[in-house]
């Protein structure tokens, strides 16, 4: 079974631009969560989608948004990029998003904002 895939793997943007990242979960998984990983803060939860609905949200500004499609693929968007948005963005999928379900992570998209 293929793992979680994320595209693109690397991205360089400039301040003020916007970016869209994509995540394809493991086949059969309907829950997708997004995380931001930085050296200082570690992994921080952005949001979780299940059946095309956002079920949970972390403490990030409204510039961070996401969506999920009927095939469970998910995208996240960051508008008006800031230097501090430079990070590794990880998505994780699970069957139904239950708290005690194992989440499977993708390799991440490394975003550099100049």
Partner 1 sequence: GESVGLHLPTLSVQEGDNSIINCAYSNSASDYFIWYKQESGKGPQFIIDIRSNMDKRQGQRVTVLLNKTVKHLSLQIAATQPGDSAVYFCAVIDSGTYKYIFGTGTRLKVLA
Site for partner 1, rule CB under 8 A = 4, 33, 35, 40-45, 56, 58, 90, 92, 99-100, 102-108
- The CB-of-55 to partner 1 minimum distance in angstroms stands at 9
Conformational region of residue 36, where left means phi above 0, alpha means psi within -120 to 50, and beta covers everything else: beta
Distances from the Cα of 103 to the Cαs of 14, 84, 90, 93, in angstroms? 32, 26, 11, 5
- The CB-of-53 to partner 1 minimum distance in angstroms stands at 15
- The CB-of-47 to partner 1 minimum distance in angstroms stands at 10
Task: Tell me how far apart the alpha carbons of residues 95 and 58 are, in angstroms, rounded to a whole number.
Answer: 20
For partner 1, give the closer residue by CB, 43 or 95: 43
Task: Please list the alpha-helical segments (H only) found in 1-114.
Answer: none
For partner 1, give the closer residue by CB, 65 or 79: 65
């Amino acid at each position: 079974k293929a793992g979680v895939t994320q595209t693109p793997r690397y991205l360089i943007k400039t301040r003020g631009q916007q970016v869209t990242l994509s995540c394809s979960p493991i086949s059969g998984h309907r829950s997708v969560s997004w995380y931001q990983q930085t050296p200082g803060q570690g992994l921080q939860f952005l949001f979780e989608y299940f059946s095309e609905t956002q079920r949970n949200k972390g403490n990030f500004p409204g510039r961070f948004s996401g969506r999920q499609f009927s095939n469970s693929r998910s995208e996240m968007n960051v508008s008006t990029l800031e230097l501090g948005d430079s990070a590794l963005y990880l998505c994780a999928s699970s069957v139904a998003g239950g708290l005690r379900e194992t989440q499977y992570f993708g390799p991440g998209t490394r975003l550099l904002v100049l």
